[in-house]
Amino acid sequence: MNKFDGFLRHRQSLLLQYKMGDMTKNEFIEENYRYMENLGIKPFTRLDNVKKAVYNYHYHNAHAKYWQWIANDSKNSDKERRSYYAESLNHYHLKDQATLALLRLIDFNAEAYYVNVKSRLLKGKLIEIVLKDPDVLLEIDAFQPVSGFTENEYLILHTKSTAIANALKANGILKETKQQSLTDDYINQKY
């Protein structure tokens, strides 16, 4: 098994542990970050295939969430907090670049909609992007059963980028109506 497939399997395992209640959101974020650091694969500079774009998305998402979580620690000085938030925002920006690269690679073959959230900072901003194309999913997912896909086997991405929202609109796939997220419990849990 190559490192990318190992990464996907480990991530799937973490998601299952989180969904089963064996892990808190903070534990999930920390374990995901630590695993990616130990994996030793830095983000790709050229996103010329789906696997690279997906890896970069997850790499930057894990780092953004981790540094945001660390920034919220009350033991930090104001200077440390600002530094950690800046690191988090930088990773969110890089995650959005990976998202846009991925959408271009798959010719915007996805569904997208705004999601209902509890956070007032995310209301009307958080977009869920759902990739259901079996060819794309088979290319990236080491866990897919041979028999085919069930309706719950999707790649789910999130963004609040206005540039991505505009690109989704320009490609006619962003619904203006709000929906419940497929990962509602996760996105609405504070960390």
pLDDT of residue 148: 39
Q: Greater confidence, 189 or 170?
A: 170
pLDDT of residue 87: 97
Report the candidate in 107, 158, 114, 98 with the shortest Cα–Cα distance to residue 133.
107
Mind listing the pLDDT tens digit for each residue in 1-33?
Answer: 677 778 878 877 888 888 788 988 889 889 989
Q: Greater confidence, 49 or 148?
A: 49
Mean of per-residue pLDDT scores for the chain: 86
Half-sphere exposure of 167 (CA within 13 A, CB side): 20
pLDDT of residue 1: 63
d(Cα 105, Cα 176) in Å, to the nearest integer? Answer: 24
Mind listing the pLDDT tens digit for each residue in 91-126?
Answer: 999 999 999 999 999 999 999 999 998 888 888 899
In degrees to the nearest 10, what's the CA dihedral of 65, 189, 7, 127? -80
What is the reported pTM? 0.86
d(Cα 42, Cα 176) in Å, to the nearest integer? Answer: 36
Domain regions of the chain by residue span: 3-187
